[in-house]
Amino acid sequence: MNHYSCSIDLFRQMGVIRVPFDTHTMNIVIKCCSQLNHTNHGFAVLGYGLKQAVAPDVCTYNTLLNGLVREDRILEAELLFKKLIKQDVCEPDVVMYSTMIKGLCKFGLKPDVVTYSTMLQGLFLAGQCGAARDLLNEMRAHNHFPNTYTYGIIFDGLCNNRLADEALSLFRSIGDKKNQEHDDMVKKIVEDMDERGFSLDATSLSLLLDHIAANHLMLQLYQCTPKYS
């Protein structure tokens, strides 16, 4: 632990003689504070950095969140996490979500499909599709797999962020599933495309027809396909 304290002391001396520092240096000092369970000092370092026009990055906030979780300050970590997303301070990455999931487990709350789905919905609403993809991968890594509700959130989020092609790719990725949940999802996709003004072009219609014919869902196609005059 001594090297953490030495690093912090060195940073203090740098401040006294006004030696400039960058984001990487600031992050190291914040991590030292976190490892010593002095996360409040880490926030003070962040404040000092901001006054010196040193911009924090996602690593900065990951370190602070991890420090809060280490000190069992789960509610404070949750508030900070929500603030980062709501105010678009930075784009969360897999490390940030892993930290929050670890905090939830430490607090006795095991994340489930509903937890992940809610987090996905928040990310899509904030326009952070990249982070949503990373979270989806993290979700699967923890053996939680999307259900119809989750897929609906993902499809809705992709369409709202003008990523219709990726939404169709999502459809292809689940195209081999032969269960009622997937059949319901097919209907939802077609209905949502119609509501959002996306026309069924030759490619998307061919894709839907292939799946529906393979699964004997011609009646569903007739019922949910937009009627054109």
- Tens digit of pLDDT for each residue in 36-47? 999 999 999 999
Q: Does residue 53 come out as left (phi exceeding 0), alpha (psi in the -120 to 50 range) or beta?
A: left
Which pLDDT belongs to residue 217?
Answer: 44
Sorting pLDDT into bands at 50, 70 and 90, what band is 174? Answer: low
% residues pLDDT > 70 (the chain): 73
Residue 45 near residue 26 (C-beta atoms within 8 A)? yes
Looking at per-residue pLDDT, the higher value among 88 and 34 belongs to: 34
Average pLDDT rounded to a whole number, residues 198-222 = 48
Sorting pLDDT into bands at 50, 70 and 90, what band is 48? Answer: very high
Residues 6+ apart with CB under 8 A from 149: 113, 117
Alpha helices in the chain, H assignment, sequence order:
2-16, 23-35, 39-51, 58-70, 74-86, 94-106, 113-125, 129-141, 148-160, 164-173, 180-195, 202-214, 218-224
Which pLDDT belongs to residue 23?
Answer: 96
Q: How far is CA 117 from the centre of its chain?
A: 10
Exposure letters 112-150 (e unless 16+ CB within 10 A, then b): eeebbbebbbbbbbbebbebbbbbbebbeeeebebeeeb
Exposure letters 179-190 (e unless 16+ CB within 10 A, then b): eeebbebbbbbb
Which pLDDT belongs to residue 102?
Answer: 80
pTM: 0.59
Which pLDDT belongs to residue 202?
Answer: 46
Sorting pLDDT into bands at 50, 70 and 90, what band is 222? Answer: very low
Which pLDDT belongs to residue 184?
Answer: 59
Residue 183: φ, ψ to 5°: -60, -40
DSSP 128: -
